[in-house]
Amino acid sequence: MSFNSNVFDPETVKALLKLVLKDREKKAGDHKNTNNWLVDWGKDWTKESIMEEIIRIKKKGDCVGTEEQMRFLAHVLEYMEILGRALIGHAGKKKPLPTAFPIYGPQFTPPHVDYCQDCAAKNPEKYLVEPIYVLSPIFHPHFPLDKCPVPGCSKPVERKGFSSTGFRTIYGLEHNIKVIGMEYACEEHKGFSTTSVDKFLSFFKPWLLGVGLPTIFERSGFTAQLADFVREFRLSLSIGAMQEHIHQLHLQHNFRQKLKWAKQANCEKEKGLLRAFIPGYPEVLQQAELTKEEENNGVEKRKHKCVKPEASAMSQHECSWWLKINPAPSEHLLRSEYERWMKEERLAESEQYTRTLAGTVIGADSTIKAAKKANMYQQTDGSKQLKVSNLLEGGLLTLVNPDCELVSWRFLFSNSILEAVRAIKEFGQRNEVMGIPFNDMGEVCVDCCCDFRGSIQDANPNLSVTQDLMHLEGRILSSVSKKSPHCGLLAHELSKALLKEPSKPPHGNSNGTPAVYWDAKTQVQNMQTVWQKFKVAGDVWTKESEAIFLRQIKHVQDGCLQRRHPEIPSHTSGNENWHGRINALTRGDASSLTAIVLLIADMALRHNIRLKLRNFSQPANSPSRQFRAAALGSPYLSLIDALLREMEKLTDIAQPVFLDICPQHQFGLVPTNPK
């Protein structure tokens, strides 16, 4: 069954239904018509039923909106009753919809100024009504909206009607909408609403809720488009910048609406319909009020009656009696939605995918900048000031494989090498599960090999620990006089002394080639030649240079630059690139530990899944690489895995699987092991 998104004009739809259902009207005394009728025009969609619904919503007191908004909702609910009756039938006996039955939903768009046939200028509030989204199983047959959400419960549920609290505001990318849900009662777990977060929506996987459905909070929510916007652009924009962009889109929508109204008003003025009346466009909208006549209608009084203040007490804009036109969401809501989504979906996806990454060679390095901004904020008793603390003295450790994939990352609470060794050991366990011989033939390239080698080989004596070339050259160059004109030449000569052939980057279909090193004996001879050559220059070496140079020659002499797998790149340049990306996430913005952990997890998955692989780490036909290929660079892996499972069921052809390897391994903020 298809649903359209045309303008829902209540009068037009009602007139069309009268034509289509003229043979399906309820007739008094006609027993043959008992289970065949679909509409009773004596009770359905009458002025009285519309007013009763408006009064009921007002008296409940939980629904905030204008009189016109509530009137439009009442029309939508009357239509939904007839549609539900036509689809479900009487006593559960379903029948096909009558021919030409007008189908609308799940989003009902009210008539706008361009659509109107009466005088729009005199009542612009009538055309400032927001669309209404009905969260009903009628529009989502494959989503169990009419089943008890508690896992394992198969008890029947009873429909109680539409949400008794009315609609709630859902913020959109350009304009907002209203959402109303259905209420049901389970025999065992009592009542629930399809818009209830704790009693219904929290039982479902986030990626299943995202198939066109709005994201709903306790009192508000986001449309699917706005939620996707926040998720996609959070890494590029701060929360403040994002809120400003959304605010400008809302303002643009408001001005477009106002321009349409002004043109329509001028047309009416030219026709003489306005005469002496000078129309005005509202700056704010008046909240619906329960009149005394409505209040005495025999139903309980509203819970939170809004009292209109004296005009002298406060301005129109400061009063809670007035409603803003199409307001934008606050920074707090944007931040809360991103963090909620990260904790419920993306964080688990990122960790699960990272655990599928392998490699025989890895580079290990750490950065301090990101860790220094990962602060914890605590509220102190009796003070409004926040206490700021940072316990991450060891920085942020990253492990990167030859394909430049971030295979592990964690914050270090100290400078102890044992914390880094734990991450390397866990990486080896995952490689063993995937059949990669890291534990037997692996290599770890670090910035200071002799400091790490003992601890790493105590944990796994089969691992080779090598020195990164860039850090070795950097230590020598840091001791050189900065005023010397020979610094550039020295860097070039050092590379020639240590490398037989420099690395070649990938080009076209070629993966490129890693650097080829001289043997250790030749490297030592070449470095001694470099020392003597620049000693003659006289303005290169400083007092500290000799000790540093001799220390680096000792590394070279011990074979620290000799690679176990010459055909595979071995360096920490990939780590430095990742450090740049991570540090750029929070540059210029105040951050917290929670925010930085979530941002890094999001960025790590997005970048890992988009990298152009050179297949130095895993075979292209490995299970994890097959799933990566099926994702086509998209980071929404839970959604993709759910799709692949459905396709597998449909075609009986095996599809790639999102592997869950060593689920006990964590990244980012990892509890320390006392042992």
The owner of tokens 């809120």 is: 243
Asked if 166 and 180 count as a contact pair (C-beta separation under 8 A), the reply is yes
- pLDDT at position 145, please? 78
pLDDT, tens digit, 9 for 90 and up, residues 109-137: 998 776 665 666 778 888 899 999 999 88
pLDDT of residue 262: 87
Question: pLDDT band for position 590 (50/70/90)?
Answer: low
> What are 50-79's pLDDT values in tens digits?
999 999 888 876 778 899 999 999 999 999
pLDDT of the residue at 114: 66
For tokens 């706008």, the residue is 112
The pLDDT of residue 307: 41
Could you give the percent of the chain with pLDDT greater than 90?
Answer: 55
Question: Would you state the pLDDT for residue 339?
Answer: 94
- From residue 416, alpha-carbon distances to 10, 308, 410, 420, 672 in Å are 71, 65, 13, 8, 12
pLDDT value at 316 more than 50: no
Q: In whole angstroms, give the CA distance from residue 365 to residue 371.
A: 13
Among left, alpha and beta (phi > 0; psi -120 to 50; other), residue 2 is beta
pLDDT tens-digit map of 256-306: 999 988 888 888 888 887 766 666 888 898 888 877 777 776 444 434 334
Separation of CA 182 from chain center: 27
Nearest alpha-carbon partner for 554 in 472, 480, 487: 472
Q: What confidence score (pLDDT) does residue 117 get? A: 58
Q: Does the pLDDT at position 529 exceed 70?
A: yes
| Burial degree of 125 (CB within 10 A; 0-12, 13-18, 19+) | middle
**Antiparallel, parallel or unpaired: β 132-135 and 221-222:** unpaired
Which run of H or of E encompasses 135? strand 132-135
Question: What is the per-residue pLDDT across 381-402, written as a single tens digit (0 to 9) for each?
Answer: 767 777 778 888 889 999 999 9
Q: How many secondary structure helices (H) and strands (E) does the chain include?
A: 21, 19
Statement: residue 87 has pLDDT above 90: no
pTM to 2 decimals?
Answer: 0.89
Pairing state of beta strands 215-216 and 190-193?
A: unpaired
Mean pLDDT, range 455-463, rounded to an integer: 95
The per-residue pLDDT for 115 is 66
pLDDT surpasses 60 at 2: no
DSSP 118: S
- For the cut 50, the answer to whether the pLDDT of residue 408 exceeds it is yes
User: Structural domain boundaries of the chain?
Assistant: 1-129, 238-275, 335-462+610-675
pLDDT digits (tens, 9 = 90+) for 362-371: 999 999 888 8
In 98-205, where does DSSP find H-type helix?
Answer: none
Question: Which tens digit of pLDDT belongs to each residue from 539-564?
Answer: 889 889 999 999 999 999 999 999 99
The encoded tokens of residue 361 equal 């060679």
Percent of all residues in the chain with a pLDDT value above 70, rounded to a whole number: 90
Give the pLDDT of residue 536. 86
Q: What's the pLDDT at 369?
A: 85
Residue 302's pLDDT is 38
pLDDT value of position 588: 62
Tens of pLDDT along 95-114?
778 888 999 989 999 987 76
Compare 156 and 492 and report the one with higher pLDDT.
492
Dist CA 501 CA 495 (whole Å)? 9
pLDDT in tens, 650-670: 999 999 999 999 999 999 998
Mean pLDDT of 187-205: 85
CA torsion through residues 560, 562, 563, 567, sign: positive
Task: Examine the pLDDT at 18 and tell me if it is beyond 90.
Answer: yes
Identify the bridge partners of residue 109 per DSSP, sorted by sequence position. Answer: 7
> Who has greater pLDDT, 91 or 290?
290
Give me the pLDDT at residue 675, please: 54
Confidence of residue 308 (pLDDT cuts 50, 70, 90): very low
Strand pairing class (322-324; 386-389): unpaired
